[in-house]
Structure 1
Amino acid sequence: MKPTMYFLMNSIDLERGGLTRASLKQASFFAEMGYDTYMLTFNFNPKYPRIRKKLLEMNKVHKDVTILNMYEEFEGFSKPLVSNAASQKVSLDQLSEGHPFDIREGYNAYRIYKNGIYTKYIALNKDNSLDFIDYFNENRYRTKREVYDLWGNLKKVSYMDLVLNKPRQLIYYDNDGRAYLTQWNNPGNGKVQRILLFNEDSSIRNTFVDDDVSHKVDWLTKVVNRIPNEKSVIVSDTRSTDEVLINFKHPKAATIWRLHSSHLDEPFEVDSPITSKVKAGMENIEKFDAAVFLTEEQKRDIISQVGHKSPYQVIPHYHEDNKKSIKGLIKNKSKNTKLGIVVSRLSTLKRIDHIIKAFQLTVEKVPDAQLEIWGKGDQEANLEKLIKNLKLENNVFLKGYTHNPDDIYQKGIFSVLTSKKEGFALSVMESMYNKTPVISYDIKYGPNDMIVNDENGFIVESGNIEELGAKMTYMFENPQKAIKMGKQGNKYIENHFSKKIYKEKWLEVVDFALNNKFQ
């Protein structure tokens, strides 16, 4: 009998980067093979009923993957919530109680004034359902935040520290207004001080002091216990779930630590310190039945740093082969030889500003060259300002988030990656699969596993903006060479990162972990 597969994720949402896409694909892969497959999420998000529905509609997850959420189950729901009901639109006149309000520029949000005093900040979702309400006292200190689901039910209230503007106490409610969980936080450092779980009669079921892990371990244990199977495999896919896996002990479950990111801190070299997010897993790596990395290079670097303390395995990503599908044939687009592509989160880690500065050098030689940057992030405003300052408004365009990166890559003559570090650089694989060669900084980890320099793309010295600009210029001035590189890149991905290879490696790792657990 096949083991039940559980993948631990802190959260799942619709507009996310490579890690979420890879994890959804990973779970879907096991569901396709007939494994009972669950993704367990530990964050509070009242939009999960809509998220599950949208993921299925967008074909982002297999229909037999069950996405569970800890807060939904604490609230009392025994099955995942999926809703087809329309969201409840709200009336601003009603929410403002007839008081005047103004709109926050660039947001679907409003400030309410009562006889001149700012009292509320009301944030709406895109469909004009209520998201949250912030309340303020006469000194403009935020006193609390109310969070609602898409149907107007109050789900959470955060009572704020007036000076630090951070939560001190959080109360979670079911649809009848009954509190099922209370959490106390230290507003200075964000650490959890106390968690109380309540029964349906409002009596206290459990109390956890200075402990933000045990209630998660308890929930995971209950999930594994209620699903009948003598053998299970638990995979921690995100670093915020590592502590759960470290503290989880179950006679029927093997554990796998899956590292999707680099373990290195600045300056991201082999002898660099281990980044704080990865430390818990690295320091307890011998407790897992298997530890899985995305590249052989990272495996070697970890062995050189901490030794061979665990059964280390390597499973790279794969990209779905859709060439034989009608949909795939229809989407096969001709290349725009004047268009470069970036698909990335807009964060300082990704160094998108380097690409824009390098592109200015390219535009000096290829004035009609264009660059599309797809993604969202906290650097969007800074990048808009940079584009304007460099007078590139007619050449560089911020396009927002895309749910279909394949379609985007197919348009361009090349794509660019300038991250400080990666776990694998899934965007490189996706671009090469779509016959779009990549110009990438020489970083750890991923690009060097896929890009053969000057054959199917270019590897550029990390941080060398002039060389980056020169390679982009070369691609525009030699489009036939770029197209040839793209075709070679596609073959390389199909030969080295196929779904068949992915399947073989995962089945080996699952067997390996089970043997370690049950030998």
Structure 2
Amino acid sequence: MPAGRHFAVTWSLPTEFAGRTNAMLHRSRAFAEFGGRPVDILTFDDFRDYANIRSQLSKEGFLSDGTSVLNLWEDLPTLAKGLDGPDAGGEFVDFAPLSMWSGPVTELEGPQPRLARYASDGTLLQVDHFRADGSLLLSDRHDAHEQGTHGGRSLILCDDDGRPLRHYGSSWGLYRAWLEFLVGDAPAWFVIDNKNTARFMATFRRENAVLFYVVHESHLVSHADGFASELTPSAQEVFPHLDRFDGVVFLTEHQAADVHQRYGDIGNSFVLPNSRSLDAETDPSVRRTPGRGIQAATLSRRKRVDHSIRAIHRVRSSSDVPVQLDAFGEGSQREALELLISELGVGDIVRLRGHSKQVRSEFQRASFSLLTSTSEAMALVLVESMAAGCVPITYDIPYGPAAVIDSGVNGFIVEQGNVEKLADCIKAFLALPEDEQIALRVAAMERAQDFSDSSIVSRWAEVMRVVWERKHRAPVAFTVAITSSDYCVRSGGRLRIEVLAQVSPTDTSLPAVPSFFCTMRARQQQDFFRVEASEAVVMGEGVYRLQFDFDPAATRSLRPSTVDFALEARCAGSRATTRMPLHEDPVSLQVYATRHGSMSMVLS
């Protein structure tokens, strides 16, 4: 791994966690062990006891030599001590600590002392944070514009005597100050695993800091319209700004391709799957509990554990093949799943086992595993299951299974959401002769080797090298202008835009031919679509004839709205943009299909 400080960035670190946190902790340990670089895991919440969390995670093996957990609120006293004094000219007009407040205050739970002030309707208006010795550390007002009315943020960091040192107009400003404190002048590598922290981390721009955002889940609510389907709420906040990160890491080629079709490939995305440490001593021929299946998943609607339960019920109802299922995880659907188990009368063969930190050893004793989610980015449990010789049976969902499993060779992929076919596949697998089951286990274990820690860490190191060089290329200055443009709507609704563009370097000649993109952005919306030129022809010195094609799914996705178009030229890490002009045409054409399917046109 490259020199410098390495960080993993999340919002908080609970003691009970699922896939994304597990993947982050494992990658951090792998960076330390195979990359030779210690990793600090950064957390920003103010309500967890991190001394206890560190102890527990270390005891359970989730933290190891070379990995540590840092917390903003634990570090703030040290940060404040290192400051030279109050901001020059700072008047701190918003400073009104609760010691000056005569109204009611509430003591908040947590490892550090905190007092809060609320409005009569329960709206939070202020939180004061204190050091262990009782001195004021930070006063955080949410009513800076007018006391008593929610609006305006003011965070004031104080010295050991409770006197103001620094003012921040937003929590993000405070977060960036902590990052500056940690980084200094050395190279720093941030791998961001949490979508909430991604929003403010994208604003931390430093020459010596490289930011990677790892996409841990599907960015689409459903896949009804393919790449142009509706973004999840969290993706709506992050994905339109992916170009603010030095690197965006996808876990599968399929998801990367869908995002490229939506936003274009601007050169900052990479595919790096999750890794696992693999047990060389696992013997695929060791006798396992006959018919035992495992599902490791949060008990949520998205994971659809109810499909697995119904499939197990179908297997028992339609055959004499012995079968059972242990589901490991917790979630909002536990009560509903317990009721389903009771209604189907499968309580003797289906068990909800709750959270377990030993799922890996469970895979080694089970015959098969199930994955029934609506979507994944890359289900880590697939590799864990295969590494243990436990044959995975999964729905054909985006994204993940098809990137890992060769169906019928090292696992099975069945039709998305089809419980009957899932049951048939379980039944067919359990009926296979033992030698054929062993062959599947061997193939699964061999496939898992492709995701070994040493292999994936080496790929991370190479990506980091590439991104550092890309970030530190000499910038180039240029402008782009459009001399003419035209458009047409082709059969099927495909929108084509044709442009004649002039690229003009400001100082020296460009080191390479620019890449050209056209963006289609809906007004008053965050989302947009960006396509790379399907054709770029050099017409002369700096003159290019460009052609852009928008898939009909993209235009459908933005309806109803008014959209604006822009041309974007990128070269050597620099970018120039201009709005797309259109010369008025005195003749307006409206083409439509008659009720008989014939083409007609309205001229106006």
Q: Does TM, normalized by the shorter one, top 0.5?
A: yes
Structure 2: which amino acid aligns with 1:383?
L
Deviations 1:70-91 (A, max 9, x none): 1111244899xxxxxxxxxxxx
| Distance apart, 1:417 and its partner CA | 0.5
Answer whether contact 1:233 1:254 (CA < 8 A) is retained.
yes
CA distance in structure 2 between the partners assigned to 1:206 and 1:389 by the alignment: 61
Instruction: Tell me which of 376, 389, 395 is aligned to 1:441.
Output: 395
Q: Are 1:484 and 2:439 matched, yes or no?
A: yes
Answer whether contact 2:292 2:366 (CA < 8 A) is retained.
yes
Matched position secondary structure for 1:291: strand
1:39-188, aligned counterparts within 5 Å? 39-76=41-78, 144=106, 146-149=108-111, 155-157=113-115, 167-184=124-141
Match of 2:575 in 1: none
CA distance in structure 2 between the partners assigned to 1:67 and 1:450 by the alignment: 31
Match of 1:315 in 2: 272
CA distance in structure 2 between the partners assigned to 1:396 and 1:462 by the alignment: 22
Structure 2: which amino acid aligns with 1:450?
V
Q: Are 1:232 and 2:200 matched, yes or no?
A: no
Match of 1:202 in 2: 162
Q: Which 10-residue stretch deviates more, 386-395 or 473-482?
A: 473-482
CA distance in structure 1 between the partners assigned to 2:157 and 2:210 by the alignment: 28
Sort the Cα spacing of 1:77 and 1:374 in 2 relative to 1 into closer, same or farther, 3 A: farther
Q: Are 1:299 and 2:256 matched, yes or no?
A: yes
Q: Which 10-residue stretch deviates more, 398-407 or 256-265?
A: 256-265
| Distance apart, 1:167 and its partner CA | 4.5
Q: Which 10-residue stretch deviates more, 198-207 or 286-295?
A: 198-207
- For structure 1, the residue ranges without an aligned partner over 5 or more in a row are 80-142
Sort the Cα spacing of 1:274 and 1:363 in 2 relative to 1 into closer, same or farther, 3 A: same
Match of 1:115 in 2: none
Answer whether contact 1:289 1:310 (CA < 8 A) is retained.
no
| Distance apart, 1:8 and its partner CA | 1.1
Sort the Cα spacing of 1:34 and 1:286 in 2 relative to 1 into closer, same or farther, 3 A: same
Answer whether contact 1:254 1:514 (CA < 8 A) is retained.
yes
Sort the Cα spacing of 1:208 and 1:467 in 2 relative to 1 into closer, same or farther, 3 A: same
CA distance in structure 1 between the partners assigned to 2:464 and 2:389 by the alignment: 32
Sort the Cα spacing of 1:511 and 1:49 in 2 relative to 1 into closer, same or farther, 3 A: same
Instruction: Tell me which of 196, 201, 208 is aligned to 1:245.
Output: 201
Answer whether contact 2:251 2:274 (CA < 8 A) is retained.
yes
TM-score (structure 1 length as normaliser): 0.78
Structure 1: which amino acid aligns with 2:206?
H
Q: Are 1:361 and 2:327 matched, yes or no?
A: no
CA distance in structure 2 between the partners assigned to 1:366 and 1:28 by the alignment: 45
Sort the Cα spacing of 1:162 and 1:439 in 2 relative to 1 into closer, same or farther, 3 A: farther
Match of 1:23 in 2: 24
Q: Are 1:34 and 2:36 matched, yes or no?
A: yes
CA distance in structure 1 between the partners assigned to 2:393 and 2:211 by the alignment: 37
Matched position secondary structure for 1:353: helix
Q: Are 1:290 and 2:247 matched, yes or no?
A: yes
Answer whether contact 2:116 2:124 (CA < 8 A) is retained.
yes
Q: Are 1:408 and 2:366 matched, yes or no?
A: no
Sort the Cα spacing of 1:470 and 1:332 in 2 relative to 1 into closer, same or farther, 3 A: closer
Structure 2: which amino acid aligns with 1:222?
F
Structure 2: which amino acid aligns with 1:4?
R
Sort the Cα spacing of 1:462 and 1:254 in 2 relative to 1 into closer, same or farther, 3 A: same
CA distance in structure 2 between the partners assigned to 1:355 and 1:173 by the alignment: 49
Aligned-residue RMSD, C-alpha: 2.8
| Distance apart, 1:479 and its partner CA | 6.0
Match of 1:221 in 2: 180
| Distance apart, 1:193 and its partner CA | 4.4
CA distance in structure 1 between the partners assigned to 2:470 and 2:405 by the alignment: 35
| Distance apart, 1:354 and its partner CA | 1.4
Sort the Cα spacing of 1:448 and 1:207 in 2 relative to 1 into closer, same or farther, 3 A: same
Matched position secondary structure for 1:349: helix
Sort the Cα spacing of 1:351 and 1:75 in 2 relative to 1 into closer, same or farther, 3 A: farther
Match of 1:430 in 2: 384
Matched position secondary structure for 1:270: helix
Deviations 1:454-487 (A, max 9, x none): 2222111111111112222223333624443222
| Distance apart, 1:166 and its partner CA | 6.5
| Distance apart, 1:24 and its partner CA | 1.3
Sort the Cα spacing of 1:182 and 1:351 in 2 relative to 1 into closer, same or farther, 3 A: farther
| Distance apart, 1:363 and its partner CA | 2.1
Instruction: Tell me which of 245, 252, 255 is aligned to 2:211.
Output: 255
Matched position secondary structure for 2:295: strand
| Distance apart, 1:503 and its partner CA | 2.5
Match of 1:126 in 2: none
Q: Which 10-residue stretch deviates more, 198-207 or 502-511?
A: 198-207
CA distance in structure 1 between the partners assigned to 2:31 and 2:110 by the alignment: 34
CA distance in structure 1 between the partners assigned to 2:176 and 2:117 by the alignment: 27
Answer whether contact 1:179 1:198 (CA < 8 A) is retained.
yes
Matched position secondary structure for 1:5: strand
Deviations 1:44-76 (A, max 9, x none): 243211211222222223311232111111244
CA distance in structure 2 between the partners assigned to 1:427 and 1:56 by the alignment: 22
Structure 2: which amino acid aligns with 1:513?
V
Matched position secondary structure for 1:67: strand
| Distance apart, 1:161 and its partner CA | 6.2
| Distance apart, 1:156 and its partner CA | 3.5
TM-score (structure 2 length as normaliser): 0.67
| Distance apart, 1:194 and its partner CA | 4.4
Match of 1:93 in 2: none
| Distance apart, 1:367 and its partner CA | 7.4
Instruction: Tell me which of 282, 289, 292 is aligned to 1:336.
Output: 289
CA distance in structure 2 between the partners assigned to 1:242 and 1:509 by the alignment: 19
| Distance apart, 1:500 and its partner CA | 3.5
| Distance apart, 1:162 and its partner CA | 6.5
Deviations 1:331-378 (A, max 9, x none): 996311121111111111111111112222122134752110111122
Deviations 1:373-414 (A, max 9, x none): 111122222211221222221111011111122101111111
Sort the Cα spacing of 1:205 and 1:29 in 2 relative to 1 into closer, same or farther, 3 A: same
Matched position secondary structure for 2:6: strand
CA distance in structure 1 between the partners assigned to 2:433 and 2:386 by the alignment: 16
Answer whether contact 2:27 2:275 (CA < 8 A) is retained.
no
Matched position secondary structure for 2:370: strand
Matched position secondary structure for 1:278: helix
- For structure 2, the residue ranges without an aligned partner over 5 or more in a row are 82-104, 144-149, 474-604
CA distance in structure 2 between the partners assigned to 1:442 and 1:371 by the alignment: 20
Deviations 1:140-182 (A, max 9, x none): xxx9563144xxxx6344556675x664543433323334234
1:363-512, aligned counterparts within 5 Å? 363-364=316-317, 365-366=319-320, 368-478=322-432, 480=434, 481-494=436-449, 496-512=450-466
CA distance in structure 2 between the partners assigned to 1:64 and 1:255 by the alignment: 21
| Distance apart, 1:447 and its partner CA | 0.6
Q: Percent identity?
A: 26
Matched position secondary structure for 1:180: strand
| Distance apart, 1:302 and its partner CA | 0.9
Answer whether contact 1:213 1:243 (CA < 8 A) is retained.
no
| Distance apart, 1:436 and its partner CA | 0.7
Sort the Cα spacing of 1:201 and 1:348 in 2 relative to 1 into closer, same or farther, 3 A: same
CA distance in structure 2 between the partners assigned to 1:439 and 1:162 by the alignment: 54
- Structure index of larger Rg: 2
CA distance in structure 2 between the partners assigned to 1:349 and 1:174 by the alignment: 42
Match of 1:119 in 2: none
